[in-house]
Structure 1
Amino acid sequence: MCMSKMLFLPSIGSLLLLFWTCATNQTPESQLPDQPDVESDSLFLNPIHTHGPDPWVFQTEGQYFLTFTTGVNVTLYRSSEMSNLSGAFKKVIWTPPSTGPNSQNIWAPEIHRVHGKWYVYYAADDGNNENHRMFVLENSHEDPMAGQWVDSGELKLPDNRWAIDGTIFEHEDQLYYLWSGWEGVTNIRQNIYICKMSDPLTPTGKRVLLTSPELSWETNGVIPTVTEGPQMLKKDDRLFIVYSAGGCWTDGYTLGMLSARKDADLMDPASWEKSPQPVFIQNPEGNAFGPGHNGFFTSKDGTEDWIIYHANGFAGQGCGNKRSARIQPFLWKDDGTPDFGQPHPLYQKLTKPSGEY
């Protein structure tokens, strides 16, 4: 229609004049140029997975491999697009034994490709949380969706203490392992530890405490206090460990960050500087409560940096399957540190990662 409001027209003549004016100002639909479907081509909605606690993504050769906590197995997703998992290939690559040290509470699996082989690191126990340890699967096939996943047993971390949320990374030709663990045998506080590895299956040397929950937003009024989910992020001459704090059962679960120079001794706690404020916090107006346990990836064309994380859609939903997996781009500040912004409002459209449209 040529008019958006109703007008009172006092005569039939003026009504005819109005119709004639509309007709002469309109262009036949057959002559209109085709308009691109911008919304379907370039935009998407979070969450990318409605039940996606502890999301992790590994990318290689134009493919993204994702894992989440299911609690009962390791399920692997493969997709060429991070913004649309509806067409992702999904496969349960490992089911735990019915009994034993890694038979229950399968948490936060991560898939990595290290020195030409695939590895999945995951936390598990025998039904008793005090016995949670890190375990590893390996697969020598080029395609992690094919071949055989072999249970290589417990990852024998130094001191043999409670451990979850392990991740491996390589820097200057040296493998390192980060995880969240207890200092002793009592569930008082979860700390972030690091150790070296001689190969993807063999931790070496001592574990080193990098950080503990000590700031008010880390302790968050909970017992036990928690720092967990450490993730490595590299940019130019800086290394960052982005971790979760505050207890996943609270809405105040949030992200903190340690930073070090790339030429620093990563095994020296003094090399790591803690950000005094959290770097990613809840956005209640955007239905993002307890955002945390993140990972990182780049757009298909390599021009954008993105974060993947989980959050609850409503307050008080805790550590269950209400946590959905979400993604959003992030930028870099002039001082060389990442700027994650705030969690993007749920169900508010975002532009897809560059190269996906």
Structure 2
Amino acid sequence: MYCKRKFVFICFTFCTLIACKNDFSKAQKVETKTTFKNPLLVTGPDPWVTQKDGIYYFCRSTGRDLEIISTKKMSQLGQAKSVRIWTPPADKLYSKELWAPELHYLDGKWYMYFAADDGNNDHHRMYVIENSNQNPLTQNWIFKGQIADATNKWAIDGSVFTYKNINYMIWSGWEGDNNISQNIYIAKLKNPWTIEGQRVMLSSPTYDWEKRGSGNGLPTVNEGPEALISPQGRLFIDYSASGCWTDDYALGLLTLKADGDPMEANDWTKSDTSVFHKSEENSAYGTGHNGFFKSPDGKEDWIIYHANPKSGEGCSNYRSPRMQRFTWNADGTPDFGIPVKTGVAMDVPSGE
């Protein structure tokens, strides 16, 4: 009788464990999200993403400090916590209006580039901090100082990229000392915190779609340059054009010719139309200042950008970060499509 009861007890326990396992598996399946919706966050001007060792690191402009949000799934960015990594000391030339931070991993260390001033926009320059810890969320950041070419002119929106084993920096700046036109410049890097040689201007606003919002003391604008390398190894630089204070803030594209030299302005061609712009029907205004990243399995290309949900909201904190997959045209150029409407379910990046 004892053996029979023991057998029944064991069978009951085994079945219970199987049932619990099945229920747990069902729960796991329910929790696995296959779609997401834009926006990723309520606010997040000038979004930037970099990825390393399966982790995505997201940055945005706060104006007051430098922060990072880390996640393994970009579709769930809104569920991750923002970590403040650095706050500037008061009363410095770089204490205020911290814009467009970008996190990069170079030569075995982390670097964050940002623009800042003392409260006077005319004093905006680019700066960089360094962290030798493999986890950029630590507080081991060291201020390396200003990063500038010999002209030391007004500069914002610095980004770095590596092409054919050479590191370059691109940014938006003034030719002189007056706020007339923001242009796209490039220079080589001697090291992650030092520009080497002369800057070269790659683009200035020339088309009508690049000049919206200018006049009456307001400049024409090319800013937010970002490098993009195609699967075939072609180099592109997209940038934001027209004033961010307009609904017509949009993306333009520079293309380096085959075997061209990034430092030769004549080796670049500019698209005569914008390649990504507002969509009134999808309630996306002022689309621009973007970044790029790969899906977790490396099979998909994604663009992240900011946009306003309503017309007339300009350069405010209504700008929210949004992401969508993009593809490549037959001629090898990127096809960003049109901004997807907020609240519409989209497939998460492959491999999530």
Q: TM-score normalized by structure 2?
A: 0.89
Sequence identity of aligned pairs in percent? 50
- Answer yes or no: is 1:308 the counterpart of 2:304: yes
- Tell me the equivalent position of 1:228: 223
Residues 276-319 of structure 1: per-residue CA shift (max 9 Å, x gap): 11000101111100100000001000010000000000000010
- The alpha-carbon deviation at position 86 of structure 1 amounts to 3.4
- Bigger mean CA deviation after superposition, 329-338 or 253-262: 253-262
Match of 1:63 in 2: 55
The answer to whether structure 1 residue 46 and structure 2 residue 42 are counterparts is no
* Corresponding residue for residue 187 of structure 1: 179
Tell me, in whole angstroms, the C-alpha distance in 1 between the residues paired with 2:192 and 2:317. 30
Aligned-residue offset at 1:324? 0.2
Tell me what 1:7 maps to: none
Say whether 1:330 aligns with 2:326. Answer: yes
Corresponding position of 1:19: none
Is the contact made by 1:141 and 1:147 (CA closer than 8 Å) also made in structure 2?
Answer: no
Q: Please list every run of at least 4 consecutive aligned residues from structure 1 whose deviation after the TM superposition is greater than 3 angstroms.
A: 34-40
Deviation at 1:172, TM superposition (A): 1.5
**Number of corresponding residues:** 323
CA RMSD in angstroms comes to 1.6
CA distance in 1: counterparts of 2:242 and 2:139, whole angstroms? 39
Long gaps (5+) in structure 1: 1-33
Secondary structure, counterpart of 2:74 in structure 1 = coil
Match of 1:196 among 188, 192, 198: 188
Q: Which runs of 5+ in 2 are unaligned?
A: 1-25
**Pick aligned residue for 2:288 from 281, 288, 292:** 292
Q: Do 2:86 and 2:139's aligned partners in 1 also have CA atoms closer than 8 Å?
A: no
Kindly indicate whether the alpha-carbon contact (under 8 Å) linking 2:213 and 2:243 is maintained by their aligned counterparts in 1. no
Go from structure 1 to structure 2 and tell me whether the alpha carbon gap of 1:221 and 1:70 turns closer, same or farther (over 3 Å shift).
closer
How much does 1:199 deviate? 0.6
Aligned residue in 1 for 2:272? 276
Whole-angstrom CA distance in 1 between matches of 2:31 and 2:85 = 35
Which amino acid is 2:242 matched to? G
Could you tell me which residue of structure 2 aligns to residue 218 of structure 1?
210
Letter in 2 for 1:227: N
**Relative to structure 2, which stretch is displaced further, 38-47 or 314-323?**
38-47
Q: Is the 8 A contact 2:213 2:246 kept in 1?
A: no
Match of 1:261 among 257, 262, 269: 257
* Distance in 1 between residues matched to 2:104 and 2:259, nearest whole Å: 24
Partner of 2:14: none
CA shift, 1:90, in A, is 2.2
For 2:33, what is the secondary structure of its paired residue?
Answer: helix
- Pick which of 336-345 and 150-159 moved more: 150-159
Assess, with a 3 A threshold, how the Cα gap between structure 1 residues 227 and 322 changes in structure 2: closer, same or farther.
Answer: same
The answer to whether 1:205 aligns with 2:201 is no
2:84 alignment partner, one of 92, 110, 127: 92
| TM-aligned CA deviation for residue 36 of structure 1 | 10
Q: Tell me, what secondary structure is at the counterpart of 1:51?
A: coil
The answer as to whether partners of 1:67 and 1:110 remain within 8 angstroms in 2 is yes
CA distance in structure 2 between the aligned counterparts of 1:237 and 1:156, rounded to whole angstroms: 28
Matches within 5 A, 1:100-111: 100-111=92-103
Q: Is structure 2 residue 128 aligned with structure 1 residue 132?
A: no
Aligned: 1:242 with 2:234? no
| Residue of structure 1 in register with 2:344 after alignment | 348
SS of the equivalent of 2:76 reads: coil
One-letter code aligned to 2:222: T
Query: How much does 1:158 deviate?
Result: 2.9
1:119 to 99, 108, 111: 111
- Confirm or deny: 8 A CA contact 1:181 1:193 kept in the other structure: yes
Separation in 1, partners of 2:143, 2:267: 35
Determine helix, strand or coil for the equivalent of 1:86. Answer: helix
Contact 2:213–2:245 at 8 Å: present in 1 too? Answer: no
SS of the equivalent of 1:83 reads helix
- State the distance in 1 between where 2:151 and 2:324 align: 38
- Number of the residue aligned with 1:27: none
SS in 2 for 1:329: strand
Work out whether residues 66 and 84 of structure 2, in 8 Å CA contact, stay in contact via their aligned partners in 1: yes
Q: Could you say if the C-alpha distance between residues 262 and 83 of structure 1 is closer, same or farther in structure 2, counting changes exceeding 3 Å? A: farther
Cross-structure match for 2:143: 151
* Mapped contact 1:237–1:262 kept (Cα < 8 A): no
Deviates more, 1:215-224 or 1:68-77: 215-224
Contact 1:48–1:326, Cα closer than 8 Å, also in 2: yes
Whether the 8 Å CA contact 1:140–1:147 is kept in 2: the answer is no
Query: Which protein has the larger Cα radius of gyration, Structure 1 or Structure 2?
Result: 1
Aligned to 1:165, which of 144, 157, 160?
157
Moved more, 256-265 or 299-308: 256-265
1 CA distance for matches of 2:184 and 2:170? 7
- Contact 1:163/1:182, CA 8 A, preserved across alignment: yes
Deviations 1:130-155 (A, max 9, x none): 01000000000011112510111111
Q: Equivalent residue for 2:16?
A: none
